[in-house]
Amino acid sequence: CSSLSSEIFTFDLVPKTDHYAKPENLNILSSTGLRLTSPKGTRVTELSGISWDADEKILYAVNDEGILYHLQLILKNKAIAGVKVIAEYKLLKKKNKKPLKKKWRDSEGLSSVNHNNGIKGDTELIVSFEGKPRIARYTTTGHFISEVKLPRKLLSKKRYRHKNKALESIIVHPTEGIITAAEFPLKAKPESIQTLYSASGKEWNFLSSKAKGSAVTGLEVLHNGNILVLERAWAGIKNPVVISLSEVKINSCNPPENCDVRKIASLSTTEDWLLDNFEGLAHFKDNQYLVVSDDNDKDFQTTVLVLFEVKPAGKNKISKKGL
């Protein structure tokens, strides 16, 4: 395992002091800094979306440049002991099968289907893009399969609050299908109200974190069918970095009002949490999840991979259903 662990380093994001409030519904199992190099010899940076393939034991990751990575994880005693990049692919165009270019390659969110059915070789990836808002299906080697039809309001960049704040995150829900979210609320929405959008046109509104500059950067499905929402707040050097995790109860809503929200954790640099630009979120197993930070290809930032456990709010599970 030495070759695997050589690409990680100790990065303890938990405060060393005693003056912080420990989150009651969150347990940090492991946090690790990554210095990864692909088999092609390129440095791995700007990871923005991740998805765990339980059948293949591979963590898929996409970055802001339309590159897909296959990561192998080694865990010991519930801690990440090693990470290795075992493959690298460029996401391809649908026509000429050439790599995506410029605004078309800004891949941000990642999810998958057929990744936990006991069958190897049938996983498909679902990727959301920000530069040109859209969602597409890909093979695990980066070949285009098809576009996902979305509500018209999500396709126009003019509806977003910023040209670079579009479809940051995505999940495949067992009963609701593909669900995505904009980083910031659309212009037609109040700034304090975030919205989850399904590809079929359904919407779920919820109150976003109160931290200044809060944005939705990751989504996942909890065992009870509710949505785990990752929010990152950053509003300049005079403001703290705040990472929030919430459970949005999509079956406990009163349109057009908000869905009920359970606060899982709110971590802030004001309490000495060593936080970075966390964007990618993926279910790992049971109540365990992975989150990764986007280092923005900057030397002063770090790619951090965290394994954590969420305390469940309920015991009811929902049946799995394909797209």
3-state secondary structure 52-85: EECCCCEEEEEECCCEEEEEEEEEECCEEEEEEE
E strands in 93-235 = 107-113, 124-129, 134-138, 144-147, 167-173, 177-182, 193-198, 203-207, 214-221, 227-233
CB 264 within 8 A of CB 246: yes
Mapped onto helix, strand or coil, the DSSP state of residue 233 is strand
**Which residues are CB-contacts of 95 (< 8 A; sequence separation ≥ 6)?**
none
Q: What is the rounded CA–CA span in Å between residue 247 and residue 322? A: 22
Sequence-ordered alpha helix ranges (H) in the chain:
2-5
Count each helix (H run) and each strand (E run) in the chain, helices first. Answer: 1, 21
Blockwise average pLDDT, block size 10, the chain, 323 residues: 61 87 92 93 94 98 96 92 95 91 92 97 97 96 97 94 88 97 94 95 94 95 96 88 96 84 95 94 97 90 95 56 40
CB 317 within 8 A of CB 223: yes
**Which residues are CB-contacts of 298 (< 8 A; sequence separation ≥ 6)?**
none
The whole-model pTM stands at: 0.93
What's the confidence (pLDDT) of residue 314? 52
Q: How many residues does the chain have?
A: 323
**Which residues are CB-contacts of 185 (< 8 A; sequence separation ≥ 6)?**
161, 191, 192, 193, 194, 195, 208
CB 95 within 8 A of CB 108: no
What's the confidence (pLDDT) of residue 319? 38
Q: How many CB atoms lie within 10 A of CB 218?
A: 29
What's the confidence (pLDDT) of residue 204? 96
What's the confidence (pLDDT) of residue 71? 97
What's the confidence (pLDDT) of residue 98? 94
Residue (of 56, 59, 58) closest to 119 by Cα position: 56
CB 185 within 8 A of CB 204: no
Q: What is the rounded CA–CA span in Å between residue 203 and residue 179? A: 9
Handedness of CA 253, 254, 257, 263 (dihedral sign): negative
